[in-house]
Amino acid sequence: MAKPPLSMKPTGWFQVAWSDEIGVGDVHTMKYFGEDMVSWRAESGALTVMNAYCEHLGAHLGYGGKVVGDVLQCPFHGWQWSQQGRNVCIPYQERPNRGRRISTYPVVERNDSVYIWHDVERREPYFDAPDVFAAFGDDSSADDYYPQQRLYRESLELHPQYVLENGVDFAHFKYVHNTPIVPKFTRHDFGQPVSFVDFTITFQGDDGQQIEDVNSGVEAINGGLGIAVTKSWGMVDNRTISAITPVDESTSDVRFMVYIGRTPHRDQARAAAKAQEFGREVIRQFEQDVEIWRHQRYSDPPALATEEYQGFTAIRQWAKQFYPDGIGGSAAEVYAAAQKG
Ligand code: FES
Ligand SMILES: [Fe+2]
């Protein structure tokens, strides 16, 4: 294990909870990016994520704070704060303090998840959090799938970039996931903050087959460093979301979600049980990766095999745009090291 040398304060969308963890009237306490935060759901259903401390005398709003209609009331002196973090009521004074504001985060709820936009420079979101259905433009929706199955691992010593690098790492599939042959990448598109990786892969058959003959694969979309969604084709219909969120300077929370496609079947109960089982298998494979990542030391510049240069150089160069300090393993260094062999 080693503290990642990459910034733990990257810009982008990051998952901080699941929607069903925060019901109407709930105040939920959490810590991400080294900041204490609260999320709370107003009577209207609107969800707010804000810094945890009251701007009056600094009470933590997560311990005794109360949702009153559409505002959050501090447990200490009853000051009320709006969904924009504005002070809207001081109960023992006619006027609120209009100048004071608790910082809030842009929030979206998507695919049963709560995502916040984190940016140390406080810029507005400049790309979208990917939707595991809509992002693939194939008219699919949650109705076509069984309910989401989840994995949650708290405070692991790993960095979000490790997880994304998995997406260009063709060689690990055979060793970590026991695929019979090495997958082949058919698309690497790192031109925008939302990037695309497609590959052909099979979990069937033996090592005598040729990857060119395989008729199954995965399409992946990375929405920045925090959220990646995948869609499979030519195998059991599944979609996944991996969401890695830095907690502090050395650890991240890992969330992984799987959807298995519904199929017309005479025996619905049996089909649902099969889907459960398959979902668990997909989660098990992701956990195999987690075991590597959580003990990994970031290698920069890495020793790469010839065929690995292109993918790793592209993803590391792409990742740099999300780091406030620009540290992310320079592509030039990666390339130079690769040339030296
Ligand atoms: S500290 Fe919140 S109202 Fe006083
Ligand atoms: Fe993997």
Fold of 142-322: Naphthalene 1,2-dioxygenase Alpha Subunit; Chain A, domain 1 (3.90.380)
Quote the ligand 1 centre to 53 CA distance (angstroms).
9
Count of H-run helices and E-run strands, the chain = 5, 18
User: Which pTM does this prediction carry?
Assistant: 0.93
Q: Which ligand is nearest to the CA of 77?
A: 1
- Phi–psi pair at 71, nearest 5 degrees: -130, 170
Q: Is the peptide bond before 193 cis (omega within 30 degrees of 0)?
A: no
Quote the ligand 2 centre to 263 CA distance (angstroms).
26
Quote the ligand 1 centre to 77 CA distance (angstroms).
5
Residue nearest to atom 4 of ligand 1 (CA): 77
**Residue 338 burial (CB count, 10 A):** 19
What is the structure's pLDDT at 330? 43
Tell me the residues surrounding ligand 2 (ion) with CB < 5 Å. 166, 289
Q: What's the CA dihedral at 73, 74, 77, 80 to 10 degrees?
A: -40
Spell out the domain ranges in the chain: 12-118, 142-322
Mean pLDDT of 254-274: 93
Residue 7 has pLDDT above 60, yes or no: yes
- What CATH number matches the domain at 12-118, 3.90.600.10, 2.102.10.10, 2.40.37.10, 1.10.3720.10? 2.102.10.10
Q: Which ligand is nearest to the CA of 64?
A: 1
Mean pLDDT of 42-67: 98
Residue 21 has pLDDT above 80, yes or no: yes
Angstrom distance (rounded) from CA 27 to CA 244: 22
Q: Which atom of ligand 1 is nearest to the CA of 77?
A: 3
| pLDDT single digits (tens) 102-136 | 999 999 999 999 999 999 999 999 999 999 999 99
- The Cα-based distances of 25 to 40, 88, 108, 137, 298 in angstroms read 7, 18, 18, 35, 42
